[in-house]
Every structure is written in structure tokens, then in C-alpha cells.
Structure 1
Amino acid sequence: MNRITNLEKLNKEEFDICIIGGGASGAGCALDATLRGFKVALIEKEDFAAETSSKSTKLIHGGVRYLEQAFKNLDFAQLRQVKHGLEERHTVIRNAPHLAHPLALITPVFSWFEGFYFTIGLTIYGFFAKNDSMPKAQWLNKKETFEHIPTLTPKLHSSVMYYDGQLDDARYCLALAHSANKAGAAVVNHISVTGFEKDKTGKLTAAIVQDNLSGKTTNVKAKLFINCTGPFGDSIRLLANSSLEKRLRPSKGVHIMLPPEVLKSQDAMLIPKTKDGRVVFVIPFEGEVMVGTTDDEYRDLEKEPILISQEIDFLIDTLRPYIAKVPDKSQIKSGFGGLRPLIASSGSKATKKLVRDHEVEFDETSNLLSLLGGKWTTYRLMAKDTIDEACKLLNKNVDCKTELHYLVGGENYHFEQWKTIQEKYNLEEDICQHLLKKYGSEVENILKIIENKDLKNRIHPDYPFIKAEVIYTIRHEMVCSLRDFFARRTRLELMDWKATSGSIKVVAELMSEELNWSSAEMQRNIAGYQNLVKNFMENAGIQ
């Protein structure tokens, strides 16, 4: 993924389709459209997965909460959403096995009746999963439950275990963008749409864009523009046609990160009900334990949604009935907030009651196609529906080819290869396993870089990230900023704020040399990112 080369293409070439937004839906659309033979540009104002797509609960699932609501309220839209999610689950895992895998979830129950109720529900949940080799739901007794998660409260009666999928959301999104680029799409991050050019009838002919790194502006010409900007979708819709009504009602969800001692398990926990009627997940992720999420309406889209102290209190209180030793605030290592791109209903439903389905909207006045709503698990189906519509508009009848298309790093991936890497390169076990899980069959490109012995060293002593990854991600994954690397290529910002802060200088020095930053630029980048991390900690009330 070469940003300079792709910027030149944006300047000089005309495209069949220009996709705005480099999250899961935009990158998914770019891959789908490119594989169908369209000439495609994908532009993203920040970084791939910088917003919603890097801030999910990291689950590939149909949604157990939606299933319960579907039956209780006879809501067939919720049921359809569950069915779509479970049908797509196996495809998400199959196409990038290095980034996605099955995950066992334990639901603690406190009576025989609760156990019976959840066993029936989760058995029905599994029934909707087609072409799926996931194990079926099981009712575990108390002893079996503690064998899975030893830190649970002794007050529980039993538990129900079922399976869903887990993914590294930011790196999965990057793999989609990288795969689209490899298939021929011109993929560029850190480039903002500031306006559109239109013909005499009001149809879009070009997007006016600004390179956020150089400040230069250019026009990207295309026959069709697709809006895949998630919770920010209304801004692009109104930029294309100011007479449109707003369609989206974003909601904020936060997660906190706790040390592994909270679970002492590779399995996750589902908390089936909170005081505000949600479910909360407690999930092992990258060696830490992630707890989330919340659901609150969010209106100030100009500001990044961040974790605040009251939200920490809510999540810890939610843990209280289920964990024998409840963690306190001082144990929190980091946290993050994200926005759901919910489509507004005609009534005044709370955001947690809105369906996570998607809609493909076509505005005849501007010729803008918008992909609205949706969720991570169904990104491929969302992209298929969108590009099917694009095919009609561009008079090209080509079937979707993404169902069996391996993403970059996914084909010929074998986890056991880490042992060969360890023997050949004399790296520690956790580093070898990390490199293989994150880069898959592309790992050889990193291993070539570590011929310089210093680049084999860890960035931080507590984590498996090494200096060679900084070089690799700049050269091959379009890293342009410190936050690109820490938040989305390695995920350290999500895992541990103090470790991130302590690693910034080391990474900045490597980036400075690779990106030709001046000394002043390097210091400015260090100070800016240090202040951002400090702000996260202060708002969360973490010292």
C-alpha cells in the first residue's frame, strides 16, 4: 500500500466508483467493487478504521440481545439481523483466519430456571448459524463453570456456554483495504472530502479533497460516489444534497481494559442484563480483559467520544454480581469510546432499542449512493448489497466474489509456523506468535526487516511489539502518524495508556527517520500524541 503512488492515481485518473470512508463498510465495498472489475478509489479522512470500526467489542456475532428482543416483541427485523450475522460469521473467520477465531462465552446463571431459559435461547441462536462448525451451546454445572473462569462469584448456580467469533477489528479493516489495494483500487488515508463538483442537473462529477498531510487539494473524478462514513454519513449526504433530511442517530459505547487476573481465562463472559437493559461482555483481548459496552445517545460528532469516569463506574458496577473480587478503578489500564451508526426510527425509541440493520439509500438528485447503519459482522453482506446497487446504476451485471476471497495474510496461514520463526530468528515465543497472528502469511516481509538486530527489540518490555513493525507498517500499511501505529496497527493505545506513553519516543524516532520528519516535526508529533493520551487518562480519572 503505497500512499504516494495512490495519490498520483487520484490526481490523474477517473474512476468508476469513488468510495468515501475507510471503515469496515467502505473497505468492504472497495474490495467487492474492485473484484467485480470496477476501477475504484477509496478515500478516508483519517486512518483506516479510525472511528467506529476500530472501537467495537471485537465480536463476530448475530447478537443474543437482538434474539431475545425479537421473540419478546415479535420483532422480525431483529430476527433478520441475528440470522444475517450468524450466516456471515463463518465467512469473516474463514477469510482472515489470522485475525479472527472462535471464542467461547460463559453466561453465569443464579438459578435452575435461568439456566434452562438461556440454554433454550442459545440453542435457538445456534440454530440460525448455517455452514458453521461452531460447537453447540452447553449447560455447565458449577464445577465445570469454575474450570472455565475461576474468578467468578461462588454464589452462581451454573452457566451456559456458547460460541461466537472474535476479531482484531482495526487490523481486519486494514486487511480489507490492503486487499482492495492489491486487487487494483487506489486506496488513500488522511484525505478529506471538502465538497463536490456537480453537473448542470445536480449530479456529482467529482469530489473536492484535501490531503491532510500536505494541505494540497485535488478533484477525484468518478461516475458514482458511495458514502460509507458510518455515524458521519449525514454530513456527506447533505454535502451532496442539502435538501435531504438527516437519517442517522449515533449512539456512544465505551469499553474499559483490565488486567488478565480479572478472568484468568481464555474464555469470555456474557453478562445477560444490566440496569439499563443491555448485555455486557467481558472478553480476553490481546492479553488484557475488555469490558463493554454502554449505549448512550451522542450528538457532538465534532468531538471524539472518549471514556469518562461515570462510565467506568457503570461497567464496574455491572461486574459486581458476577466476579468474586471486583476490580477497582486503579486497575484500569485504558479504555475507549466509539459510535454506532444507528438509523433513526420514526418513533422516539431509545438508541439501545434501534435495530443494527443496514440500508442502501440512493439519492436521485445527486446520484449519491449511501450505505447507512449496519454492524461489523455483516460488513460483507452490507458491501454486497451496496455494490449490487452500484452495478444497476452503472449497467454492469457482475456477481459478488468476496465470500471465498482470502484477505491479505489469510491464505496459507498456519499458526504453528511460529515455531519455525522462533528457531530461525531467535525471537521469543510471544513475539513469534504475535507476528504470525497479526500479519499472517505476510510475516516474511517483517522478518526481512529484522536482519538489523536492533529492530528485533521490543518497543515496550511488557508487550510483544517490536521495532521492525514500525518500519513495516510505514512501508506496507500506510502508517502516517504515531496514532496510526499505536491505536490501529498494534492496538497498544487500547490496551495500556501508560505503556503507550512510555513507548512514544522510541516509535517516533523510528518514524522520523522513515518518514523524513525534521527534528521540530518529530517533537511536535511526540508532544501532540503525549497530550492526547494524557487527556484520555485525565477524563477517565486515571493517574
Structure 2
Amino acid sequence: MLRAFLKPQRWGCWMQRAQRLLSQRRLPTREQQLAALKSEQYDVLVVGGGAIGCGCALEAATRGLKTALVEAADFASGASSKSSKLIEGSSSYMNAALQHGDVQQIYMLEQLLKERATMLHIAPHLNRVQPMLMPIYNALSLPLYWLGLKLYDVLAGNANVRGSHFLSRQATLKQFPLLKSEGLRGGLVYYDGQLDDARMCLALALTAAQRGAAVANYVRLLHIADDKLHCRLALMKNVLTGEEFAMQSKCIINATGAETDSIRKLDDARAHKIALPRIGTHVSLPGLFGSSHCGLLLPSRRLGEDPLLMLPFEQHLLVGGLDVERVGCSGVTAPTPSVAAVERLLQQTRDTLEPHVQLQPRHVLSAWTGIRPYIVCPYSSSEQQPVPHFLVEVSDKRMISLAGGRWASYRVMALEAIETAIDYCQLQPLETRSCTRQLLLDGAEDYCELLPLQLVQQHQLPLDVAQHLADSYGSNALELCAHASASDKQRLHPQFPYIEAEVTYACQREYACNLVDVIARRLRVAFVDALAALQLLPDVLRLMSEQHGWTQCEQKQQLRAAQQFLVDEMGLGSIVSMRAKLIAQALEAQQPLQMSVRIKRSKACMSHNLAAVTSSASQPADTILSQTDSVLSHKCDSDTKS
């Protein structure tokens, strides 16, 4: 029956539509985008390539405004790729609404639930329905939470994905087998949405580019000056080459997240600070500690603390919930995850699971912290009065700054920013109404849930690889596989569904400029397993070098920068080094059936050197960094010679 349904002629019309779409997806190269930035005058210049900035660029481009988007690093390199992976973000709004009866939080929750439905519609391959389990241990709290979740359903209205319901004690343990059973009364299930945050941000940027916006990563804003005819003159720097150039725009939108205040001071040196950095810590654990399909929300036990979140992601378990103000910090650079914060998260997780579950620090596969600005009103009489949701500020020189918000509010903030720009900067849009609520993002056109089966049949891919490609690229997976040779379909790592063709595709179409762009934001391996990401570096380096033409010196710089990223931002050497011996042993036991010839040749060399690097779990991060640099450089050189 299944074989008959999947006959090639069944896909004929669908393939014809896909081929037409492929011709529409041709994007300018980064060099062409930079040339446009240097030579043209723009209506809107958006600074910041996170969720809010990319949303602003898409909103402006669809209105017919001449739009430019620049990002000092890579798209989604800040907090936009380090979110909880939940769309609605119930860790704050719903928690405050249920526990504190905050009416304003309830109103905001209603708006965010509508936006959640929009995200599920415009990018179904990157956003999916996620059941969330709330265990109940206190019978007195059951009516409160049950009523709160029913209010949650009512607020969602027609945008509600599924209705919440109660589970018995046995059914709760069936959904989450390792959950602490002592005192468990049952559980409440509600439905949120899960997103691949980094790729969602990239889809926004690519869709804006398809709509005519000039988008460029690794372009930093250095200076802002007034120009004639009500234009602003912006001095930019190409971070990759060091070249500086000027560009003109009628309006500048500041959507830089943690760097909001530094950009505001470029516009007005007297600007008061509005963003206070706060950090949230997350860890990645093996999937066996959680549920394969159900997330868990444990409400906060004390005022001001985020609840504990456990969420399945990329076949692993993400655990997060700590949100601590970072005192005496500029808030611009991502902090290194601290051992103390990770241990507190692990202890919270141990308290949630059965006592016999021996969760140890060695089980942590990756750890990271994201900076989420805590917004205060700059014009308040009382010092540091918080802004509950987000802030839109227009300076005396008409620069628009966006601060706060989250993934579920990116489109609302973008809409308000562009409407404000039209009013204050006398812009003339071709379209007076927004269309982004219904506009399908890159990869969502003609996306079909049967796409993984089509990829299996037409390109002879393993089912897990096909499912990953469909979930990450949507209908673009057809284009990716169409240009991939048999060797390009080899796995980059035997335990992950990533293939070599993805690296080439990221360089050619997704503006990936360095190794970190690929291992962290095109593929998500760095966020789920830092040591696996370390093992991928030589192969990713080889593939990217073929695309970018890197010299030997540039390859070593790229390698060092990627290792530094894994140490500084993913916990390698301070958190993850305790697993190093296990990884070295696993490397020896790997089956080479799905590995390329070059991995077979270098397997013995890599195993020997990796074992030497990881012989002591207590080595400092700097020592591990220097040793892994030598290991991977040696492997890279051997692959180049062979």
C-alpha cells in the first residue's frame, strides 16, 4: 500500500511546482550583497541579524521599502540561537499569570499565542507542536493549574493547537518514565510549539533577501552621522576583510539585543542605558534522561526564579531555567557557562527524577549561556523601572531602537518598528498593510509531511537523514540533494544525521562564512554535543576550504577560532571534558560502514591523538585547546596531503 502511494508519478505535479520554486530561490552572493550596500541608498537600514532584526528586514522588504540588514557576526549568533526552543516561552508569561494573577501578563500571553499559530503556519518545517507535561505533587495546586491551563486554551482561541488535559499518575509516568514517582498525583499536559531558533532566524533573513533586501553578515556599524536630504550616513566595516565603507539610509533601526545601548550611544552619546544583561544557562543531556516526544515544565518554587524546562531537541534533552542578572558586565560577549550554574541545573534535574537515576556532570554533552537583556525605561523617574515586554524608542535623531521581546513577539515588534519608521521618517511604502502573517518563509513553500519518504525513495538516504533534511530545510531539501553526489551524502559523524552536502549548501546559499557558522547555527551539533562538534571540525574545514578557497594560514585560524568557541561558549574543557575518555573509547568502537574513506584513513591517528588530549579530565581549558589544535591541524594536514 505504501509502495503504491509513493510511485514516482504520484509526485509529478508536486515536483513540477518544486522545480519552479527552485528558479525563484536564487539568492545574491554575499559579495553581491556587499556591492549593493556600497552603491545604493536605502529607506531602512536594520542593524542586528537576530530574530527581531531579521523580522524587521522582512517586514520592510514586503512593504516595498528599500531595505538593508547588517549583522556584526553571523545571523542568530546572539540570544536568538540560545533560546529555550519554545515558541511561546511559557517559562515566564504563563507562570506569572498562573501564580501571581498578573492581568498584563495574561494579555501578553494572548498575543503571543496568536503569534505562535502564525509561526507554525509560515514555517511548518522549523516549528512544530510540542506537548509539555506539568507534574502535580500537591493536590491543592491541581485546581489552580488546571484552571490556568484552561484559561490558556481560551486565550489561544482558534489559534490553540490542542486542548490541555489531565493525566493519571500511571499515564504521567508512561509519558516520562524517569520522573520522580513519590508523591506524584498526576500530570497536566498542554501544547506549546518548539522551534529550531537559529534556522528560523536564517529563514527570515533569506526570505527578506528573496524579497529584495540586501542582507549581509559580518558587517559592523562603526559610526553614524547626519547627511543631506534627511538621510543618515553610516560607516560600516566588513569584519572578514577589514574594508570600511559608507552607506546612506533614511531610517536606522537598532535591533542588536545585548548591544542595544552601544548602538544607541553611536546615535547619541548622552543616551541612558536601557538594557541590563541577564544570562540563562542551558545544558544538553543524553535523550534517555527525558521523554522522546514530551517536554516537562516544573513551575518555579520561589519568586523570581524561572521554572525548570526539559525539552527533547535533536535526539537529546535540553535542560534550562536559570536566569540570573550579570552584575558589572557589558553584556556584549557571550559568557562562559559556569560550573556552579551547571551544577545547580543538574541538582534541579536530579530532584525532578527518580532517586536511583544517577545524573552526573559527566553526562553533560554541551553547556551554554545566552544573554537576554532586562529592559528598563530610560525616562522613568524611579531608577531601573522594568519594562515587562518590549520597548520601542525613537531618538531625537529618529533612530528607532527595539529592546526586549522574545521569539513569539518578533513579528509584532517588527511590525511596530516599521510602522513607527513610516510615521517618523516619512517613508513611502508600496504596501500599506503587512502581509507577514501569511507569508511562507524560505523552505515552507509546498512543504509536505511526506517529504522525508520522497527523499528516501529518490535519493537513497537513510530515514533519519531524510527526516533531518526535511525538518531543517523544508522543500529546499530537494535542491540540496539534487546537487549532491554520492560522496556528498556521506555522514559527517556516525551518530548524527548531518551529511557533507549540508556544509557545501551552507556556504553556497546560506551565507556561512566560518566553521562556527556551520557547527553551531547551520547544523546544531555544537549545542547538543560539543565533543562531537570538535570531531567534525576537520571535515567541515575541508569542505568549507573548497568553497571559500582558504589558504593554509586561514585554515589554521578558522580551526583555532572554532576550538575557542567550543571552549568559551559550549563548555568544552570546563564542563564537557569529563566525558572525554568515553568519547575516545567510542571513537575506537565506531563502525566505518557509513564513514568516508578519508575518515577510515585517519581514524587510527585521530583516536591516538584524541586519547592523548583527553587523558586527564581535569586539564584546564587552555591546555585542551592547545592540544586539540595540534591534533586537528595534524589531521587536516594529513587529509590535504592524501
TM-score, length of structure 1 as denominator length:
0.95
Are residues 507 and 71 of structure 1, via their aligned partners in 2, closer, same or farther at CA, if it must alter by over 3 Å?
closer
Are residues 119 and 74 of structure 1, via their aligned partners in 2, closer, same or farther at CA, if it must alter by over 3 Å?
closer
Are residues 6 and 133 of structure 1, via their aligned partners in 2, closer, same or farther at CA, if it must alter by over 3 Å?
same
Alpha-carbon separation, structure 2, partners of 1:414 and 1:64: 31
Residue in structure 2 matched with residue 209 of structure 1 by the alignment: 236
Residue in structure 2 matched with residue 540 of structure 1 by the alignment: 575
Are residues 396 and 131 of structure 1, via their aligned partners in 2, closer, same or farther at CA, if it must alter by over 3 Å?
farther
| Structure 1 vs Structure 2 CA RMSD | 1.9
Alpha-carbon separation, structure 2, partners of 1:199 and 1:4: 26
1:44-443 → structure 2 map (5 Å cutoff)? 44-61=71-88, 63=90, 65-70=92-97, 73=100, 75-155=102-182, 156-199=184-227, 205-274=232-301, 277-298=305-326, 299-324=329-354, 325-344=357-376, 356-364=388-396, 366-393=397-424, 394-396=426-428, 398-443=432-477
Residue in structure 1 matched with residue 524 of structure 2 by the alignment: 491
Are residues 511 and 439 of structure 1, via their aligned partners in 2, closer, same or farther at CA, if it must alter by over 3 Å?
same
Alpha-carbon separation, structure 2, partners of 1:514 and 1:301: 34
Are residues 62 and 456 of structure 1, via their aligned partners in 2, closer, same or farther at CA, if it must alter by over 3 Å?
closer
Alpha-carbon separation, structure 2, partners of 1:65 and 1:349: 20
Q: What SS does the corresponding residue of 1:131 show, helix, strand or coil?
A: helix
Alpha-carbon separation, structure 2, partners of 1:27 and 1:195: 21
Alpha-carbon separation, structure 1, partners of 2:530 and 2:299: 29
Are residues 214 and 240 of structure 1, via their aligned partners in 2, closer, same or farther at CA, if it must alter by over 3 Å?
same
Residue in structure 2 matched with residue 42 of structure 1 by the alignment: 69
Aligned: 1:512 with 2:545:
yes
Q: Which of 42, 45, 49 is matched with 1:18 structurally?
A: 45
Q: What SS does the corresponding residue of 1:430 show, helix, strand or coil?
A: helix
More off after superposition, 383-392 vs 66-75: 66-75
Are residues 62 and 52 of structure 1, via their aligned partners in 2, closer, same or farther at CA, if it must alter by over 3 Å?
closer
Alpha-carbon separation, structure 2, partners of 1:315 and 1:74: 27
Q: In 2, are the aligned partners of 1:360 and 1:371 still within 8 Å (CA)?
A: yes
Q: Which amino acid aligns with 2:371?
A: L
Alpha-carbon separation, structure 1, partners of 2:238 and 2:155: 45
Q: For residues 208-252 of structure 1, what are the alpha-carbon distances to aligned partners after superposition, in whole Å with 9 as ceiling and x for unaligned?
A: 110011110001210111101012111111111112111111210
Alpha-carbon separation, structure 1, partners of 2:130 and 2:388: 22
Q: Which amino acid aligns with 1:489?
A: R
Q: Which of 524, 529, 536 is matched with 2:557 structurally?
A: 524
Q: CA deviation at 1:176?
A: 0.2
Q: For residues 252-291 of structure 1, what are the alpha-carbon distances to aligned partners after superposition, in whole Å with 9 as ceiling and x for unaligned?
A: 0010000011014310000112456321210000110000
Alpha-carbon separation, structure 2, partners of 1:424 and 1:448: 10
TM-score, length of structure 2 as denominator length:
0.81
Q: For residues 388-436 of structure 1, what are the alpha-carbon distances to aligned partners after superposition, in whole Å with 9 as ceiling and x for unaligned?
A: 1112122436111100000000121112121121122111110000001
Alpha-carbon separation, structure 2, partners of 1:190 and 1:255: 26
Structure 1: which 5+ residue stretches go unaligned?
A: none
Q: CA deviation at 1:98?
A: 0.3
Q: CA deviation at 1:84?
A: 1.7
Aligned length: 537
1:473-488 → structure 2 map (5 Å cutoff)? 473-488=506-521
Alpha-carbon separation, structure 1, partners of 2:343 and 2:207: 41
Q: CA deviation at 1:79?
A: 2.5
Based on CA coordinates, which of the two structures has the bigger radius of gyration? 2
Q: Percent identity?
A: 32
Residue in structure 1 matched with residue 589 of structure 2 by the alignment: none
Alpha-carbon separation, structure 2, partners of 1:59 and 1:71: 18
Residue in structure 1 matched with residue 533 of structure 2 by the alignment: 500
Q: Which amino acid aligns with 1:337?
A: T
Q: In 1, are the aligned partners of 2:376 and 2:387 still within 8 Å (CA)?
A: no
Q: Which amino acid aligns with 1:422?
A: V
Q: In 2, are the aligned partners of 1:108 and 1:322 still within 8 Å (CA)?
A: no
Q: In 1, are the aligned partners of 2:366 and 2:576 still within 8 Å (CA)?
A: no
Alpha-carbon separation, structure 2, partners of 1:429 and 1:136: 31
